[in-house]
Chain A
């Protein structure tokens, strides 16, 4: 049974970098069939997919157009986790952030982390 466990700070200052980590148990971040995403949710923007990382003989990333210039999602194979970095945050980035996994292609975001409430405020 695959589980995702999120960690990271709940408060970030404006213009700084939001960093969150998602630890995977029961599967591998390097799986040739999985894909690992970050999703956020706020009252003003609803549910918003941010991007993903996946391995298919080499590493790939897809990023939402809305955040592409300031996002990085990276795997750590030694710790079996993946991380989100969102640069130059503003109060608009205040949201609940979720990590999520698609275990095999086209089967959807089947497993989710518990969510982390991140507030951008000085």
Chain B
């Protein structure tokens, strides 16, 4: 059971904005950068956000990250069918002395 929790699922229609929350503690989100990953079925995770709110080259600006205190969020605007995937947040954790992945959120495009 991860120490960083996410809602199991969120859904939206094409064009909508959906937001995924990521809740942690002072030993992880409260004191370290948060990273976000997208995972399509049968593939390796793909980095979407680093440093709380930075996008790697090639990631559309429809994806945005934010953080406040011990919580973080990933927003997907202009939702598209190809955004249907699992999304994970992953901060470093001082107590566990390593990266900790969130429980994951499945995004469904209705």
Q: What residues of chain A have their CB less than 8 Å away from a CB belonging to chain B?
A: 37, 39, 46-49, 51, 62-66, 98, 100, 106-110, 112-115
Contact = CB atoms under 8 A, between A and B. Distances in A.
Contacts of A110: 47, 50, 56
Interface residues of B, number: 24
Interface of B: 2, 33, 35, 37, 43-47, 49-51, 54, 56, 88, 90, 96-101, 103-104
Given A106-B51, A109-B35, A49 B44 contact: no
B102 to A, nearest CB: 8
Contacts of B97: 62-65
A113 B44 contact: yes
10 contacts: A37-B99, A39-B45, A46-B104, A47-B88, A49-B90, A49-B101, A64-B97, A65-B98, A108-B35, A110-B56
Contacts of A63: 97-98
Interface of B, helix, strand, loop or mixed by DSSP? loop
Contacts of B49: 108
B44 A48 contact: no
Given A46-B101, A46-B103, A112 B44 contact: yes
Contacts, number: 63
A106 B88 CA distance: 17
Contacts of B88: 47
A82 B47 CA distance: 21
B50 A108 contact: yes
Contacts of B47: 108-110
Contacts of B104: 46-47
A47 to B, nearest CB: 4
Contacts of A114: 44
A63 B96 CA distance: 9
A106 B37 CA distance: 15
B101 A106 contact: no
A21 B45 CA distance: 19
